[in-house]
Structure 1
């Protein structure tokens, strides 16, 4: 999937697809060769329709973890998503650095510290929500290209799997990486080894392959990616087609019609691949191996717009055929662009580019998709509640006698909350009589065993004078209290500097954070 930052990136830059060109392309391939690829492009008999059982039909929209930071992302749409989430994208820290990162922008520890990703993923697990991580994407260096061998690559994958307690991964392979045979071989070997480890421990690992797709199905390079995994003995849960960016300029057919053509062509390609490798199809047949991911609203190709009606049509087709997995790019974009956005015809990472009239693409695409990967029971309700203790809690324990500014985090009844606006002496953060809109607090997730106790930054003794209740302080004065430094924002006397930790609006002090 593309991530447009700062310039638009297309999976098929410069490609334009029209019906005459598509027909000519198909005829040319048939005349030139009677190979397997020609048979794949023009299948003689479509696989029978059965598909995944309802319990195995699941929805999880892609969520770009790197788009925002700190409190903005921590209280973002991920907590309000319909269905589950595929967190994107884990890539290498550098061209030759096998360390997994989020989009090369954040380490895994950064993501936990800045926007509570570990906590939010654990919340999804405990609420029984499907969650997966996608490796790769359209930009940056994919781990399989950066890691020197299959063993180190498996170790990088394992780090992510263990940290987020995952049993579903998504391998997003596109662009130049499709033709990187060395990376393809390393990836297949590493994933096969991980599945063998999990199988020995009686733990599943579903592996989904996400690939570019055209109205005639997978490209030859895409088919080779499928073959590589199957040849290595990987149990492929399915192939997710990127039903987007076809290169039509919006003149050939609706995006839903093109997507339905693409999925219809994909089915016999996968049936043929499974047959070539002597792998049995699932009980539901080939359609239970298929996923679909449209790019909602404006696509990267000018003129291509996936509308709300397209979402309804694609969902209806998917349900009729038993398509196992539905997704979308992306949850971050599932809203109408605000009136201050000056370029409504330019693809945005934060909105769909079309008027949604209060509807959400996620709700339309996941209609009927209430199952789970493989039909497995998820970890709903799993995990111990850790008792509130000011000495061990990762944030201050909530008190009705304190003042809280927007974006302040607290602990209450074993959970972490973030304030949405300045408040004091209000209902408890977990007040069951208030809905999300009415509460001053957003629930982020449970307190974790891995959390470290909340502490204020400490300065060397004597760095600044100790604060005194009787001293008159002016703007810019600096003091110390209990080892922490504070700077006066305006004139004050007798007001404790440490109140500023929770009340950033009205305290005359601000905490000094060491560089």
Structure 2
């Protein structure tokens, strides 16, 4: 297949959309429990009601997104060792010719991914080594299934097909671009996810993350509406992972770490209000635990913005100090120095298979995941 176009995660409100994509991973449990296929249930609010107890908080985790269809390919077995992790495989979107059928970024159906890149085989050996995987739906390249499936029942079937095939208990919904403005899709997504959670055994809950773009001033208004739609549907939302990358022009001397912290603090204020409005009165520490941070390592798409190794080390310390629930990165494919032949993608200051900074292979994952990997 032809070489891939530039991929990135979201940016602040008001920026022109750039070509797409990205990825991230976790390090909680070495055990992966196969998810049973979820039977569609009647519509309704199946989530957390006010006063209902939540399951115990999961330990904080780290991991990077892996773009499974990027060429040259990076297999799960090729990742530099960094403790026991749950790699976030990206991205599942709508099939270009069969809109409500899941596909890997429009390149492979689920069966084709097994045949052509041996994804099922990769997962089997990866898990045998004590690791696990999560799945990310959406991204900026294609269309998220909630916008492509016409009915809630069809969306439940599409999501549950992926969850069952790959046996995951953590899912990530990366909502960007036009998808952020699609209120009907947000409502379908929330209702479908609530039904999927309701269909799981109590001891094997489905953990759900929303991944959203931010500016240094926090979530966009559309991002806040996306969170509210999930909570209003009754989804037990594990957390909101913010893409701390591709910021608006930064003041002289202001680092990417500084901008990420500013975005995190503003997101903390927003989530306190959003969870409260949904009937969950959380203390400050509980809100921090429902925040994830995902930088774009090395050179960002915005020229001159570089998330350095020093930024990575400081962001890890900030995450540990605040009790951040998740730290990820875009992407595992990029966690290496660029060779002489590395090419920046059209319209971007970044390459999609290397960081653009002097580093050891896997160094960003080690710094961002310090004390967060098992």
TM-score range, shorter chain: 0.7 to 0.9
1:102 corresponding residue in structure 2 = 104
CA displacement at 1:63 relative to structure 2: 0.4
1:258 corresponding residue in structure 2 = 259
C-alpha distance in 1 between matches for 2:185 and 2:372: 34
CA contact (8 A) 1:55 1:370 kept: no
The TM-score, its normalising length taken from structure 2, stands at 0.81
Alignment of 1:288-437 (within 5 A): 288-341=289-342, 346-357=349-360, 360-370=363-373
C-alpha distance in 2 between matches for 1:64 and 1:250: 32
2:124 corresponding residue in structure 1 = 122
The TM-score, its normalising length taken from structure 1, stands at 0.60
CA displacement at 1:141 relative to structure 2: 1.3
Q: Indicate the SS of the match to 1:133.
A: strand
**1:468-503 deviations in whole A, cap 9, x for unaligned?**
xxxxxxxxxxxxxxxxxxxxxxxxxxxxxxxxxxxx
CA displacement at 1:9 relative to structure 2: 6.2
Q: Indicate the SS of the match to 1:148.
A: coil
CA displacement at 1:155 relative to structure 2: 0.6
C-alpha distance in 2 between matches for 1:54 and 1:230: 17
Q: Indicate the SS of the match to 1:285.
A: helix
Q: Indicate the SS of the match to 2:303.
A: coil
CA displacement at 1:73 relative to structure 2: 4.2
Higher relative contact order (CA 8 A, sep 6+): 2
Q: Indicate the SS of the match to 1:94.
A: coil
CA contact (8 A) 2:243 2:294 kept: yes
CA displacement at 1:174 relative to structure 2: 0.8
C-alpha distance in 1 between matches for 2:13 and 2:277: 34
Between 1:319-328 and 1:283-292, the stretch displaced more is 283-292
Q: Indicate the SS of the match to 2:101.
A: strand
2:22 corresponding residue in structure 1 = none
Unmatched segments (≥5 aa) in structure 1: 17-52, 372-515
Does 2:190 align with 1:188? yes
2:159 corresponding residue in structure 1 = 157
Unmatched segments (≥5 aa) in structure 2: 16-55
2:230 corresponding residue in structure 1 = 229
CA contact (8 A) 2:190 2:230 kept: yes
CA displacement at 1:163 relative to structure 2: 0.7
CA displacement at 1:218 relative to structure 2: 0.6
C-alpha distance in 2 between matches for 1:67 and 1:363: 22
Q: Indicate the SS of the match to 2:143.
A: coil
C-alpha distance in 1 between matches for 2:350 and 2:251: 15
1:498 corresponding residue in structure 2 = none
| 343 and 270 in structure 1: CA distance in 2 versus 1, 3 angstrom threshold | closer
CA contact (8 A) 1:192 1:234 kept: yes
Q: In angstroms, what is the RMSD of aligned CA positions?
A: 2.6
Q: Indicate the SS of the match to 2:241.
A: strand
CA contact (8 A) 1:59 1:369 kept: yes
